[in-house]
Structure 1
Amino acid sequence: MHRFFFDLLVDNVVKIDPGGMVFEQAKATVVVADEMARHLFVWRDDLRDRDAWIRVRDAGGREIYRAAVWAESEEKVGWDQA
């Protein structure tokens, strides 16, 4: 099992995930990061119009994935506009 960290990047500010989560395979973190980003898009309207990302890091600090809080392939409509 490996520990991965899910940091929130907003513009030039990084909010570090202090505890992380444990996964058997790194591929699982992509699904989790994408779901976190979707959740933030829906519930945090202050992040919608900014450069906001979920960054996945391994225990060594290496970035392995980034999920945008918005998705180019989906309409940018939040819960309050649906």
Structure 2
Amino acid sequence: MRRFFFDLLVDNVVKIDPGGMVFEQPKATFVVADEMARHLFVWRDDLRDRDAWIRVRDAGGREIYRAAVWAESAEKAGWDQA
């Protein structure tokens, strides 16, 4: 089992996840990050019109995924499609 961290990026500010969560498979973190981003979109209206992301890092600090905090219908390219 490996530890992964879920940071919140808003514009140029980063809120570091100090504890992280343990997962067997790295791809499981993608689902969790997407769910966190959807939750923030619904409950944090201050993040809706900003560049806000959930960034997933492995224990070595390497970014493995980003989930954007915006509506699925919004016309924005994902971080890996820019």
**TM-score band w.r.t. shorter chain:** 0.7 to 0.9
Which deviates the most, 16-25 or 63-72?
Answer: 63-72
Contact 2:6 2:20 in 1 (8 A): yes
Q: Given the superposition, is the C-alpha separation of residues 66 and 16 from structure 1 closer, same or farther in structure 2, using an over 3 Å criterion? A: same
* CA distance in 2: counterparts of 1:43 and 1:11, whole angstroms: 18
Contact 1:11 1:52 in 2 (8 A): yes
Matched, 1:62 2:62: yes
* CA distance in 2: counterparts of 1:37 and 1:60, whole angstroms: 23
Q: Given the superposition, is the C-alpha separation of residues 39 and 78 from structure 1 closer, same or farther in structure 2, using an over 3 Å criterion? A: farther
Q: Given the superposition, is the C-alpha separation of residues 32 and 51 from structure 1 closer, same or farther in structure 2, using an over 3 Å criterion? A: same
Q: Given the superposition, is the C-alpha separation of residues 3 and 39 from structure 1 closer, same or farther in structure 2, using an over 3 Å criterion? A: same
**SS of equivalent residue, structure 2 residue 79:** coil
Q: How many residues align?
A: 82
Runs of 4+ in structure 1 over 2 Å off: 71-82
Structure 1 length normalisation: TM-score?
Answer: 0.87
Identity across the alignment (%): 94
Q: CA deviation at 1:71?
A: 3.8
**SS of equivalent residue, structure 1 residue 5:** strand
Gaps of 5+ in 2: none
Larger radius of gyration: 1
CA RMSD in angstroms, aligned pairs only: 6.4
User: CA deviation digits over 1:1-36, x for unaligned, max 9?
Assistant: 000000000000000000000000000000000000
